[in-house]
Amino acid sequence: VKCSLIASLDKAATEDCKITEESGPKLAAAGHHMKKITKIKTTPLTAFAIPQLDVDIETKGLLTNGDTSANGGATCADNRDKGSENHGVGLTKLALKQQKPTPTAIKLKDTDTCVEATKETDHYIATGTQVASAICNLRALMSKLPGKIADETADSLSADPALQNAIYLALGKEKNINDSTDQKAEKIKTLLGGGGTKLQDKFFSTFNEDNIKYTVGKQTVTTSVAKTASDYTYAITLAFLQQSQHGNIHSRECNRADESTDTTKENECSNTKDKGKCKEKNGCEFKDGKCQVKEGLKAEERKEKQTNATGSSSFVIHKGPFWLGFLLL
């Protein structure tokens, strides 16, 4: 009589791959990690082969002397009663013999070039060098693309020499521009919230908060950076920002410029003593026994300057640096 059996091994329950709210930040962190790695670890193909089993078989009696029987019926027949133990064979141990596979480390680069990918005859299989080569070449392409600043951290930005100098200049620290790279990095890291701080958490998450408040005449405006950058209040908010940063310096300079021009015209007229020459000078008139500036000329000149200044001094406002200006207040 020929017998057969089906054996199964106990295995640990596996968890489903679920997408959660933390999946996005984890992927972003993995993306930053991808920019820094120099090698990857892969699992050998032998780990996916049919596993080897460690089996113990025990027998009892001499199978050549007769069949294993139970109540007169063979154990492999249609009788369901338990067989006797006069003659028998069975499995007493069944376990995986294969050891846990050891990952293989593969470098992304050979010297200064990406590792060459090995070809595999089975197109369903991706070799370790193929994966390493793909990561290396993709990373080279991504380095040419502009990064998303919201994904940056205080650590990554503070180490950028160009950004170091830009922030130093923006904060009026030109006299310290020759600080060492490490000194600049530490100061900028502190400015951005300290090591490990993500710009998304430190700054960008506050863009939708109504934390900008100012008064124009009798109207009080409360808004956010996100709203202001895309609606009609942008220009007036930017003007408020400019005033907050620089006070009335520009206004005083403008007034001094007007006063200087008026004083020059007054001097030009008052220095002319001859009545005939006074009338010849543009903007002067001889009145009350002396040469002086014509009435109403000052107001007209100022009005004309204000009108012309709008056209000659016009400029384009870029909204990109707008939020940074508020952060540096």
Q: Scanning the structure block, which residue is given the tokens 């004083």?
A: 263
Produce one character per residue of 60-86: b if its CB has 16 or more CB atoms within 10 Å, e if not. eeeeeeeebbbeeeebeeeeeeebeee
pLDDT digits (tens, 9 = 90+) for 83-117: 555 666 777 787 777 777 888 898 998 888 898 88
Distances (CA, A) of 287 to 280, 282, 284: 14, 15, 9
Q: How much of the chain is in helix, strand and coil states, percent to nearest 5?
A: 45, 15, 40
Rounded Cα distance between 132 and 147, Å, is 22
User: What element of type H or E holds 96?
Assistant: strand 88-96
Would you state the pLDDT for residue 311?
A: 35
Please write the tens of the pLDDT for every residue from 159-178.
Answer: 888 888 888 888 777 778 88
| Per-residue model confidence (pLDDT) at position 328 | 43
Six token digits for residue 318: 């870029």
What is the reported pTM? Answer: 0.34
Domain ranges for the chain, please list them: 37-49+85-145, 149-206, 249-295
Closest CA to 106 of 37, 29, 48, 45: 37
Q: What is the pLDDT of residue 93?
A: 81
Per-residue model confidence (pLDDT) at position 13? 60
Q: pLDDT tens digits for the chain (329 residues)?
A: 455 566 666 666 666 777 788 887 787 777 777 777 888 988 887 777 777 788 888 777 666 665 555 455 455 555 555 555 566 677 778 777 777 788 889 899 888 889 888 877 777 778 888 888 998 888 888 767 666 677 778 887 788 888 888 888 887 777 788 888 888 888 888 888 887 787 777 777 778 888 888 787 787 888 888 887 777 777 777 777 777 666 555 555 545 545 544 556 677 777 777 888 888 787 788 888 888 888 766 555 544 444 443 333 333 333 444 444 444 44
**Predicted pLDDT at 201:** 78
Q: What pLDDT score does 222 carry?
A: 85
CA-CA distance, 115 to 118, in Å (whole number)? Answer: 9
Task: Tell me the per-residue pLDDT of 260-298, one tens digit each, with 9 for 90 and over.
Answer: 445 566 777 777 778 888 887 877 888 888 888 887 665
